[in-house]
Amino acid sequence: SQQGEEDPQALSIQEGENATMNCSYKTSINNLQWYRQNSGRGLVHLILIRSNEREKHSGRLRVTLDTSKKSSSLLITASRAADTASYFCATDGNDYKLSFGAGTTVTVRA
Amino acid sequence: DAGVIQSPRHEVTEMGQEVTLRCKPISGHDYLFWYRQTMMRGLELLIYFNNNVPIDDSGMPEDRFSAKMPNASFSTLKIQPSEPRDSAVYFCASNEGSGHEQFFGPGTRLTVL
């Protein structure tokens, strides 16, 4: 069963704009991870945020985590055509397994 | 390192046939995971191994599915007999354990006719 749920399911933005997507989960976690999947490819890890962290940056990516609300957000700033992909959040509990959400499909228009 | 390697990349077979998917994890990674991705069900964890030992196979859909890891550098996922509903992309991933990112292979796209 899927632990994380992303919102929105799909997002279309103009190149240069920011893209924000959210992830909600149900049970306690050790960390939350975001992955990107380009069409026809495997998943690529973007960023990991631990349960005791509130915000993390990596390049044009910013991730927040609110454990009281059991939610996380991923912000991509100054989007590019190459950011067109599906983005998944995955929660890491105490059992060494990642639980993936259904993903947000992002389309960046030139 | 070449990353996680999976073969074949594409497999087309007929219902009832045996299918074997292969995975070579990243050297030094103690954990190996098999996932299945479909439009309807998303990304599902099928089974994972720690130090070549199956730890949790609760995601394996039924007895037609089996997985082995005979050594630290090789794992197989077998479906026998295959059915059309097994059509999906199967991913293998590996990592150093909980709290570490998982590295995914390119996947095997399986089509069962």
What DSSP state is assigned to residue B86? G
B105 near B4, Cβ under 8 Å?
A: yes
Determine the average pLDDT of the residues in A80-95: 91
Residues of A in contact with B45 (CB under 8 A): 97-99
Residues of A in contact with B105 (CB under 8 A): 42
For residue B65, give both structure tokens: 């599915």
CA distance B42 to chain A (A): 6
CA distance B74 to B83: 25
The nearest alpha carbon in chain B to A38 belongs to B106
A31 and B91: CB-CB below 8 Å?
Answer: no
Cβ atoms < 10 Å from Cβ of A74? 25
A45 and B101: CB-CB below 8 Å?
Answer: yes
CA distance A23 to A8: 9
CA distance B80 to chain A (A): 24
Find the CB nearest B98 among A96, A100, A103: A96
Tens of pLDDT along B22-38?
999 999 999 999 999 99
pLDDT bracket for residue B97 (50, 70, 90): confident
B99 and A92: CB-CB below 8 Å?
Answer: yes
Determine the average pLDDT of the residues in B68-78: 97
A41 and B106: CB-CB below 8 Å?
Answer: yes
Question: Which pLDDT does position A1 carry in this prediction?
Answer: 45
Question: Which pLDDT does position B99 carry in this prediction?
Answer: 81
CA distance B33 to chain A (A): 9
Which amino acid is present at B41?
Answer: R
Tens of pLDDT along B76-93?
999 999 999 999 999 999
The nearest alpha carbon in chain A to B4 belongs to A42
